[in-house]
Amino acid sequence: MLTGVVAGLLIHFARDIAEGPPGVRMLWPLQDTAWTASYWWFLGMIITFTAVRLILVSVGIPRTRLQLFSVPTSEQSVSGASKPDRAGPGRSPPAPAGRDLQLPDHRGRIPRG
């Protein structure tokens, strides 16, 4: 999540810089110079980031995602009490009996079988 926040802020600042005058005073109050760039610079940055992301996904990076929150089981939702998660950090809890969970792969397709 932190990576998404940082990327969003950087792209937001880049867009503000590319919008032209008055620009962005990035080093204010140390320096009063406003940074500006052309529209083509911003468009080139977007194309570059998109190409890098497509290459990383085609290679298989990231291979897995960390699961920060577990899905409550029917026992937990009925009783209201939560049991400690034995899966540990970064691991998925075991699927409840009777449910076959199929998660999509990195391309968004659900495997069959």
User: pLDDT tens string for the chain (113 positions)?
Assistant: 788 899 888 888 888 888 878 888 888 889 888 889 888 888 898 899 899 989 988 888 876 766 777 777 666 555 555 555 555 555 555 555 555 566 667 676 766 65
Domain definitions of the chain by residue range:
2-59
The residue whose two tokens read 């932190």 is 2
Reported pTM: 0.44
The residue whose two tokens read 């409840």 is 96
Predicted pLDDT at 7: 84
Q: What are the Cα distances from residue 16, in Å, to 6, 25, 38?
A: 15, 10, 11
Q: How far apart are CA 83 and CA 62, in angstroms?
A: 31
